[in-house]
Amino acid sequence: MDKNNRLQSNPMNKGSHSLGRLFLQLRRLERQPQNFGNAGSITPSEIHTIEGIGYEGAILMNELATHLGVTKGAVSQLIVRLEAKQLVMRSSYPHDSRAILISLTEKGKEAYKAHEEMHIQFYDQLRSELSQEEIEIFEKCIEKLNGFLQK
């Protein structure tokens, strides 16, 4: 295509463009089911849910919805599927009989750990190509981004 025809060729905006490509990559990743442990194929939404549960140990549907940034209805549906796959289990919450505590089964914990291991390896790979100082600045930037997007 004719590159002179581009609507945008602002050189100041190169960083924004890299970020844009990263978004597309992440969108692609977030569509790809994967195997974690021997739990079979797990979709991105499922693994995020497992991550949220595993991080807390046990969590209410409510809290999980807030953590994931989705409605309680969405979480309810996910938990049905994860329970069917025997990755999570429900138990009652002593202080409020309406509430339901979700926790990981042994199989779920395996998947959780395999996923964490993957994260750690990924991060190690990044660390191996950057200095300690660069990593710290990167993390600071990520925190800033998190702050902006919070709203």
Partner DNA sequence: TAATTATAGTTTAGCATCTAAACTTATTGT
Partner DNA sequence: ACAATAAGTTTAGATGCTAAACTATAATTA
Residues engaged in binding DNA (CB under 7 A): 27, 31, 33, 43-46, 60-62, 68-81, 90, 93, 96-100
Q: How far is the CB of 149 from a copy of itself (least distance, A)?
A: 4
Residue 44, both tokens: 């991105």
Using CB under 8 A, which of the segments 33-41, 80-88, 117-125 binds a copy of itself? 117-125
Q: Backbone phi, then psi, for 24, in 5-degree steps?
A: -65, -40
- Listed in order, strand segments (DSSP E) in 34-120 are 34-35, 41-42, 58-60, 88-92, 100-104
Segment interacting with a copy of itself, rule: CB under 8 A, options 35-43, 76-84, 119-127: 119-127
40 dihedral zone (left: phi>0; alpha: psi -120 to 50; beta): left
Residue 40: Cβ within 10 Å count: 13
* Min CB(101)–DNA separation in Å: 7
113 binds a copy of itself (CB under 8 A): yes
- CA separation for the pair 83, 67 (Å, rounded): 19
Q: Which does 23 bind (CB under 5 to 8 A by kind): a copy of itself, DNA, none?
A: a copy of itself
Contacting positions for a copy of itself (CB under 8 A)? 1-3, 5-8, 10, 13-16, 18-30, 48, 51, 54-59, 63, 67-70, 104, 109, 112-113, 116, 119-120, 122-123, 125-126, 129-130, 134-135, 137-146, 148-150
